[in-house]
């Protein structure tokens, strides 16, 4: 019936390494959010200097709208990292429940659904970010002779990202059904 | 539930306590209490068999159906 002692799964190497990786990633994301949050006001404060620096690099001197586009990209970065933190937090709780030997609960289904929504939102943010970056590169135009500038834009909607969203939503349903079966099993004598 | 478990009556008839039955059939006292109080959602054939063996009864003696009490 109810499991009161922790199963040997708690000491599983896979679970331990997953927990460790999740903690490292969480702190990296928090660091990223903090850096970007401080960098945005600094960038806005020195926007005229940044625009002047860019004027030395590009044939057509870009206006302050490019600085605002950079700020927009940084904001999208913050949103993406917060969404990742949201997903990581839920994944950590699922990993903990696996360690406790009781993963088939309704709350885990809800957590997976939340991760699916977060993964979908990350896809949208990435898509918007790539559009914004492309627009910025086209505004910047050609580089002055002797100057170097390259920006590799990778984004848009990826098949693997969409598959991840679908996988998470299907897994959420699997866990819902698992929770129902667990309830039945717990009531079986 | 419309199914009633008459374990109490059978235990009384056999002059046996729940803990005694628990030892004989190898089912925890907690699980037998759940069965006795009608809180169980399902019952394994192996449990039914063990109880019938120890209490010298038929499954029909242990379970009864009463109309109109379903959840």
Structural domains in chain B plus CATH codes: 3-65 (1.10.260.40)
pLDDT in tens, A99-149: 888 899 999 999 999 999 999 999 999 999 999 998 888 887 777 677 777
Q: For A82, what's the count of Cα atoms within 13 Å in the CB-facing half-sphere?
A: 12
In a domain, A3, yes or no: no
- Quote the minimal CA–CA distance from B69 to chain A in Å: 19
Residue whose structure tokens are 């910025």: A136
Provide φ and ψ at B38, rounded to 5°: 75, 20
> Which DSSP symbol is given to A6?
P
pLDDT in tens, B18-39: 999 999 999 999 999 999 998 8
- Quote the minimal CA–CA distance from B56 to chain A in Å: 19
In a domain, A164, yes or no: yes
Cβ–Cβ gap B28/A1 under 8 Å: yes
ipTM of the complex: 0.76
Contacts of B44 in chain A (CB under 8 A): 188-189
Six-digit token string for A96: 């903990």
CA distances from A173 to A113, A177, A178, B28 (A): 8, 6, 8, 33
In a domain, A1, yes or no: no
In a domain, A116, yes or no: yes
Stretch A56-85: mean pLDDT: 89
Residue A32 belongs to domain spanning: 8-186
Q: Which of A183, A184, A189 sits opposite B34 (nearest CB)?
A: A189
Contacts of A188 in chain B (CB under 8 A): 40-44
- With an 8 Å Cβ cutoff, is B41 touching chain A? yes
Split into its structural domains, chain A has a count of 1
User: What is the per-residue DSSP string for chain B?
Assistant: --EEE-HHHHHHHTT--HHHHHHHHT--HHHHHHHHTT--SB--HHHHHHHHHHHT--HHHHEEE-TT---
Provide φ and ψ at A98, rounded to 5°: -65, -40
Q: Are A165 and A120 in contact (CB under 8 A)?
A: yes
Average pLDDT in chain A: 87
Interface of A with B in 127-186 (CB under 8 A): 183-184
- Quote the minimal CA–CA distance from A4 to chain B in Å: 14
Q: Tell me the pTM.
A: 0.76
Find, in chain B, the residue whose alpha carbon is nearest to that of A188. Answer: B42
- A125 Cβ contact partners less than 8 Å away, ≥ 6 residues apart: A76, A79, A80, A83
Residue A17: CB atoms within 10 Å: 10
Q: What number of H helices and E strands is found in chain A?
A: 5, 0
Confidence category of residue A77, pLDDT binned at 50, 70, 90: very high
- Quote the minimal CA–CA distance from B13 to chain A in Å: 22
């Amino acid at each position: 019936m109810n499991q009161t002692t922790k199963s040997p799964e708690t000491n599983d190497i896979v679970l331990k390494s997953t927990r460790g990786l999740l903690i490292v990633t969480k702190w990296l994301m928090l660091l990223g959010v903090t850096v970007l949050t401080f960098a945005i006001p600094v960038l806005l404060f020195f926007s005229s200097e940044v625009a002047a620096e860019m004027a030395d690099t590009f044939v057509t001197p870009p206006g302050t709208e490019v600085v605002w586009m950079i700020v927009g990209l940084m904001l999208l970065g913050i949103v993406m990292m917060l969404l990742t933190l949201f997903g990581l937090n839920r994944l950590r709780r699922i990993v903990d429940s696996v360690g406790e030997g009781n993963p088939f609960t309704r709350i885990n289904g809800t957590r997976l659904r939340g991760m699916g929504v977060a993964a979908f939102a990350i896809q949208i943010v990435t898509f918007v970010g790539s559009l914004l970056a492309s627009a910025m590169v086209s505004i910047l135009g050609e580089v002055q002779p002797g100057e170097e500038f390259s920006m590799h834009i990778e984004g848009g909607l990826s098949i693997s990202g969409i598959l991840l969203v679908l996988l998470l939503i299907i897994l959420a349903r699997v866990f819902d059904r698992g929770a129902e079966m667990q309830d039945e099993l717990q009531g079986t004598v | 539930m419309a199914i009633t478990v008459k374990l109490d009556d059978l235990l009384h008839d056999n002059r046996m306590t729940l803990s005694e039955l628990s030892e004989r059939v190898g089912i925890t006292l907690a699980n037998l209490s759940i069965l006795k109080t009608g809180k169980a959602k399902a019952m394994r054939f192996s449990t039914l068999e063990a109880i019938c063996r120890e209490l010298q009864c038929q499954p029909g003696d242990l379970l009864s159906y009463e109309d109109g009490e379903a959840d």
